[in-house]
Amino acid sequence: MRYSFVICSYNREKYIGKTIESVCLLDFKADQFELLIVDNNSTDNTEAVCLKMIALYPAIDIRYIKETSQGVSYARNRGIKEAKGEFIIFVDDDETIASDYLTKFDGYLNAFPQIILAGTAVLPVYETEKPKWLSHFTLRLVTGYYDEGNEVKKLEAKNYPGTGHTIIKKELFERFGYYNTDLGRKGKGLMGAEDKDMMLRLIENNIDCYYLPGMPVYHHIPAEKLTEQFFNELTYSIGKSERIRTKNISEKSYRKRLFSEAVKWGASVILCIGYTITLNPSKGIKLLQFRKNVTKGLLGK
């Protein structure tokens, strides 16, 4: 088996059917890929939707797996261990891909056989009007937007991709470890940093990460992800996750992260002034709100 798609899900009955369908409709030989759906204790109709989609596409090798340890890191690790493919392709349960996604990736591997770690673009699909307060500095944070251009290139550590648009050769997990189960979302919580922890671990071990254009994932953004409450919970969770991640490394790493946060405060204040001058105050205010929440999480308040 060449490729294993892994979809980890928690209470996404509204979207996961389309996610599964987008994989099943790939214009690629069905015997060259499999799809693993890891249900992480969903309490809605996710299971029923998944089983319905499996019945609709009998030609596709689909496995539905229940992971009872709560947390996306547990679910991803289970998917990796169950996968038979040489490459693990993660697709989040609120994302879809185009029918030529795998054909393009297969072509990239033929042209660049050294690729063992890669990221692709993420394009948000809004279900409501895009809010005016979204700026270049909060767009990826809220929607996952990611675009590194139209050329294949090696990514710098600061531009690492998120797991939901990452392709990783399975052997890398066997060599360098799995996702940190202290990190990542658990149930309705918005903790994160598990993908940052993983990507930095790979990069620190001299694993090159490539950006592959022309094969984006489409991230569906509902209205509730654009609310004040969600923004505050998300940004606070980022700080809390960074506190756990850096303290797991060392106190020195944590202090270094606190210093970088102070630098980011300075930059955010300058940007806020700039947005205000250009009559976009809502973008500047949101940046300061972002920094305030992250700092609170970092300090454990």
Q: Which residues pair with 65 in a beta bridge?
A: 38
As a whole-number percent, the residues of the chain with pLDDT over 90 amount to: 83
Predicted pLDDT of residue 152? 97
The more confidently predicted of residues 96 and 156 is 96
Single pTM value for the model: 0.91
**Which tens digit of pLDDT belongs to each residue from 12-35?**
999 999 999 999 999 999 999 999
**Which tens digit of pLDDT belongs to each residue from 239-285?**
998 999 899 889 999 999 999 999 999 999 999 999 999 989 999 99
As a whole-number percent, the residues of the chain with pLDDT over 70 amount to: 98
Which one, of 225, 230, 212, 195, lies nearest residue 73 by Cα?
A: 195
Among 156-160, 186-190, 249-253, 274-278, the range scoring the smallest mean pLDDT is: 186-190
Q: Find the mean pLDDT for residues 221-229.
A: 92
Number of neighbouring beta carbons within 10 Å of residue 42: 19
The more confidently predicted of residues 184 and 94 is 94
Q: What's the rounded Cα separation, in Å, for the pair 43 and 221?
A: 21
Q: Domain coordinates of the chain in residue numbers?
A: 3-223, 229-299
CATH topology of domain 3-223: Spore Coat Polysaccharide Biosynthesis Protein SpsA; Chain A (3.90.550)
Among 142-146, 154-158, 260-264, the range scoring the smallest mean pLDDT is: 154-158
Q: Find the mean pLDDT for residues 159-165.
A: 88
Number of neighbouring beta carbons within 10 Å of residue 46: 24
Say yes or no to pLDDT of 189 above 70: no
HEC sequence for the chain? CCEEEEEEECCCCCCHHHHHHHHHCCCCCHHHEEEEEEECCCCCCHHHHHHHHHHHCCCCEEEEEECCCCCHHHHHHHHHHHCCCCEEEECCCCEEECCCHHHHHHHHHHHCCCCCEEEEEEEEEECCCCCCCCCCCCHHHHHCCECCCCCCEECCHHHCCCHHHEEEEHHHHHHHCCCCCCCCCCCCCCCCCHHHHHHHHHHHCCCCCEEEEEEEEEEEECHHHHCHHHHHHHHHHHHHHHHHHHHHHCHHHHHHHHHHHHHHHHHHHHHHHHHHHCCCHHHHHHHHHHHHHHHHHHHCC
Compute the mean pLDDT over every residue in the chain, rounded to the nearest whole number. Answer: 93
CA distance to 228, 267, 272, 284, per residue, from 279 (Å)? 21, 18, 11, 10
Number of neighbouring beta carbons within 10 Å of residue 78: 21
Q: 228-249 and 281-299 helices cross at what angle (nearest 10)?
A: 40
Say yes or no to pLDDT of 185 above 80: no
